[in-house]
Amino acid sequence: MLQEDFASVILSSQTQWLEPGWKMLLSNKGILPLLWQKYQGHPNLLESHFEQPGQSFGAGWVRKPLFSREGANVKLVTAAGEKISEPGPYADSPFIRQKLQSLPKFGDSYTMIGSWVVGNSAAGIGIREDNSLITKDSSRFLPHIILD
């Protein structure tokens, strides 16, 4: 959105946005290496780095574009050396590398839980399942709402 022709007038427009602009910071994968630099070793963070030419990571890593969605252009190499990747439209983006944390597998499905927080309160969770370690827009999704 910030690269569109109308980007220069976003702040001065009278548009009411459903999602606040600051959410772009959280959607940018570049926040992950910055958090790792500031809080290296924190149990809620995975080791993350901005990708540099010639940098070697070995096995057990995930490569993600800074600006991507739902698994597009993600590549990973498991600790056993298995390579998995998804195509997508973000190939020209800068990338980060993040230590691989395998998802739990139940039957043929890898499962991931995401959460929504509104204000300071839990508002919902979503469960995504896929037959691949890369969660995509085609992954099965089951939302849950949290009611008081």
- Tell me the domain boundaries of the chain: 16-101, 103-148
Joined tokens for residue 100 = 């691989």
pLDDT score at 64:
95
At 26-84, the pLDDT tens digits run 778 999 999 999 999 999 999 999 998 877 777 899 999 998 888 999 999 999 999 99
Residue 99: band (very low, low, confident or very high) from pLDDT cuts 50, 70, 90: very high
Q: No. of H helices and E strands in the chain? A: 2, 9
Joined tokens for residue 13 = 């427009």
Q: What are phi and psi of 141, to 5 degrees?
A: -135, 135
In whole angstroms, give the CA distance from residue 114 to residue 148: 19
In whole angstroms, give the CA distance from residue 4 to residue 13: 14
pLDDT score at 105:
94
140, 131 contact by CB (below 8 A): no
pLDDT score at 97:
95
Percent of all residues in the chain with a pLDDT value above 70, rounded to a whole number: 99
pLDDT score at 19:
76
pLDDT mean over 107-122: 87
The per-residue pLDDT of the chain, averaged, comes to 89
Instruction: Check whether 143 has a pLDDT greater than 90.
Output: no
